[in-house]
Amino acid sequence: MIAGDDFLFTLHQFIITTLCVFFMYFAWRDQAAGTFDRLEHVNLKFIGPLLIGIFLGVYGLLLNEWGSLGIVLGFAFAFLITFSIFDPKYAVSFFIFLLISRPWEIFKNDQMMAGMPRDIFILCFLSFIGHKIIRKRFYFQWNLASAFVLFFAIWTFFSIIPSFQLVGALINYNEIFIKGIIVYFLIVNVVDKKEYILPVQSALVLGITEKAAMSFYNSFFLGKVADGERLTSVGILENSNDIAAIMILVIPFTLAFLKGITVSFFRYLLGLIIFSFYAYLIWQSKSRGAVLGVGTLIVGWFWLKAQNKKMATIIVALGMLLSVGAMSMIKRNAEDVEGSTNNRKIYWTAALNMGIRHPLLGVGYDGYPLNLLTYTDGHVGTEGKHKTAHSTWLLALAETGIVGFCFYVGIWIFSLRSAWVMRKEHPEFILAMLSYGTAITFLSHTYMLYPYILLGLTVASGQFYLKDEVKVPTKGLEAAVLAKGLH
């Protein structure tokens, strides 16, 4: 194994080991609370030695491949692989962590690490299907949001036909977009109980925490910054706007883990430190959309906590004004800011024209860059080489047409409904959707992994609360009928 940087190597070891600790805690808690989904007709005395044997075998294989550098990392991988076989919810969580952390971008020239995404996906799929067969549960969770996700994926696939780059679009579809769709359905289908969402949340939080720490290290210790002295990270999330957006996404879920701290002083102090760390990094990214997203997060939190909704509405209005004011305080070159604003106007107008003129299938998946010159009369702004719609919603409209756009928006609407039902017990879901949704209004995350993790988490958790909501009116009706009968 060849590590590109000692700090990044140590950081990854620490984060992935922390994930192991989380998984152990969740497994212990399931056992203690009796929420563990036991295997019927399987001898527990057989499972224990089998899992230990798998762990030792995998650990030995990794040590042989990585040598002394892999003592800790190999142990963590072997542990997580064993847990993935033990329960599919850990397999899905581990797979999500890898897709976010992307350790193959850190460890250069390592063939085993480079093949990890494929290998862990196969393991995840086999664990999911295997447990379905063993437990004789030949069914899948299905709801309106899942239908919209499936329809959007199919419609996007058909939109490749008019994109005039069939081979390239198919490759990108399979390597980028389809991962998010698969992750969404895996999350929704492994969460059979409310408690089972926690491993997935921990994978999301730790994966993005690692990326945030990397961006802090890269920018403030190594001095590696983007144009305009902006925050940057490693690999696919090197872009300042993208790393800022996913940090907004993870703030509510990170703070939600602090609920278990019983001492209020320490809970609030730790919460303030975490929020301040992320807010500082987002500010240093100099992303106006991300700053507006943070403003939405703060305003949304105050609105949910407010008892007087009239006062809450005033707070929302003032908060949004302050957020807009904060955007103007970002220290970026005036020409850069003006150029960015003008570029977005050009790109958004082009996206609207593409969607309106091609309402059925749009200009096709991955077709926006190729058609940009046509729909702007050759005026592509100052970012000619970065041809994107700079809006998640408008990119869906441009490349999949009005029909695909409706499918995509439908996913978010149903997910928002789920988040709204959970707002009192779990406000992190609606806060994440509102703040991240605001940030990606200015970014092209339509086909990226992160929206589908968030949507999957929200829909998977919300299914239990939506069921409870449906039952309440029935009970109320029965009570009313009974009361009427008594009179």
- What pLDDT does residue 486 have? 35
Closest CA to 93 of 10, 154, 25, 170: 25
Per-residue HEC secondary structure of 50-71 comes to: HHHHHHHHHHHHHHHHHHHHHH
Contact 64, 57 (CB under 8 A): no
pLDDT of residue 378: 67
Could you tell me whether strands 2-3 and 107-108 are parallel, antiparallel, or unpaired per DSSP bridges?
antiparallel
The three-state secondary structure class of 484 is helix
Residue 477 pLDDT: 41
Q: What is the pLDDT of residue 474?
A: 42
- State the Cα torsion 25-30-31-34 to the nearest 10°: 160
The torsion angles phi and psi of 368, rounded to 5 degrees, stand at -60, -50
Are 397 and 405 spatial neighbours (Cβ–Cβ below 8 Å)? yes
Whole-model pTM: value is 0.90
At residue 225, the pLDDT reads: 73
| pLDDT means over runs of 10, the chain (487 residues) | 72 95 92 72 70 92 88 94 93 95 82 86 92 82 92 94 80 91 94 89 95 89 74 80 92 91 88 92 86 88 77 69 62 55 84 93 90 78 68 95 96 95 93 95 93 96 77 44 39
Distance, in Å, from the CA atom of 249 to the CA atom of 228, rounded to the nearest integer, reads 24
What pLDDT score does 472 carry? Answer: 45
- C-alpha–C-alpha distance, residues 429 and 433, integer Å: 6
Burial class (CB in 10 A: 0-12, 13-18, 19+), 87: buried
Strand partners, 107: 3
